[in-house]
Structure 1
């Protein structure tokens, strides 16, 4: 399925123009319909609705393409975004990493995380002004949901350099260290863990089309190592899954996705593991 409908949420702040501009470029490249949504909290509806509607129209005219649906709603910000996305059957939600208190409901970091983890479709969180994605880091484990997220990232950015990255975890490493295991022994365990997982990660890479340009398998804590890898490779976009089939995997991957969202210096694409698959056309 190609990318048909994109929903961009804005709080009308200066920072929101980055997300709106990104959404407009993606919608134009994929020949998709763009909807721009702003949400007014119920407590402010009577005071700012008319002014917010005028401001929203000016905001969209300055930062988006001509063919766009403009929607102003009243309600809780994250819930309203999710409902609008479901009602319009969008394939991608685009948000700013954080907003500023403006005339409408602010897109705070908590709002962005709530939408990213609850959305039925992929969510792109924008924090950089780069015009095009040049290097994309695909953060994976060896699950089906991770493969889906990686393929979605490749399909969305076919002209970029793609780095498939996996961080291998030594289970109980901290307890082993506390029990007296030395650094050299821990390093051997990390090397063994990396050697064990590498064939599965390479097999995952071989299933992707086109195959990523590079495969990196390291060891450590994914929550810390993945944002560091984004910086190391100067990636413009990091792609991660938000959850998988089992309760344990949802908690683990959710924690990793949350860390990437919070600390990666790039834009972040979060792809929900249980969501229906939507494959955008090549740019």
Structure 2
């Protein structure tokens, strides 16, 4: 797989400017082209909408001019419903990767309905890179919490393209079902579950490049294990599947949805390779 085309969805915020910086850095590293898209809500008066369109284009042109260098790019400002048009552009275009900034916190409203970023990630058939940090250099440390599904493998494969020289750590969080009632972590039952999980991990990883480290088994719940791994490994990129664990109200896996809502660092989310 190669990285040839990136789509950046921008809302003209500082958060989106960081996504622009990372997208153009990646494009420069891979010889890819960049399409920058913002969608202006057309629900207001025509004169106001037209003014916002022009000001949006001016903002993007200035932001891109400062970082584009020799990267081939296109700036597109459209009118319409921002969410539906963004999702259409993501899924109908030829982009290998969609790049977005983190969402603006809306307090209590974030607990009531998905944000625009969550909606785009949940409905995208393409891998999505959610950018949090300034793009000061190439990615150096990639952490991938995996379950044994195609989406997680696709996320790791995509991360290898984005960060081919980075150090990778892959881990799988596990706890034996009803462990507390069956003798605990050291029981024969738990050890059998661990052996079966290790076999699943090895089979899942067979299609990945042999240069990657093996999947480490971490005995803990998914959320707690990620917190600990983040402290130990200090990644600048997390790569995971879109729906690897139980579904949330966003349509993403609950684990992934929590990371999208409150990302600790840049996060790459992918579906199964057959979907994008």
Smaller-chain TM-score range?
A: 0.7 to 0.9
Bigger mean CA deviation after superposition, 126-135 or 255-264? 255-264
**1:72 aligned onto 2:77:** yes
Give the Å deviation of 1:82: 1.7
**1:220 aligned onto 2:220:** yes
1:58 is matched with 62
Bigger mean CA deviation after superposition, 62-71 or 233-242? 62-71
Picking from 128, 134, 140, the partner of 1:134 is 140
Q: Which whole-Å CA distance do the structure 2 matches of 1:255 and 1:243 have between them?
A: 8
Contact 2:246-2:254 at 8 Å conserved across structures: no
Give the Å deviation of 1:47: 4.6
2:90 is matched with 85
How many residue pairs are counted as aligned between the two chains? 261
2:208 is matched with 208
Give the Å deviation of 1:220: 2.3
Give the Å deviation of 1:267: 0.6
Change (3 A) 1:212 1:58: same
Contact 1:243-1:274 at 8 Å conserved across structures: no
Q: List aligned pairs for 1:175-190, cutoff 5 A.
A: 181=181, 185=184, 188=187
Change (3 A) 1:156 1:270: same
Give the Å deviation of 1:167: 0.8
Change (3 A) 1:155 1:274: closer
Bigger mean CA deviation after superposition, 39-48 or 234-243? 39-48
SS for the counterpart of 2:129 is strand
Contact 1:164-1:215 at 8 Å conserved across structures: yes
Give the Å deviation of 1:27: 1.3
Unaligned runs of 5+ in 2: 107-112
**Deviation per residue, 1:23-61 (Å, 9 max, x gap):** 001112221110011121223524522222222211222
Give the Å deviation of 1:144: 2.9
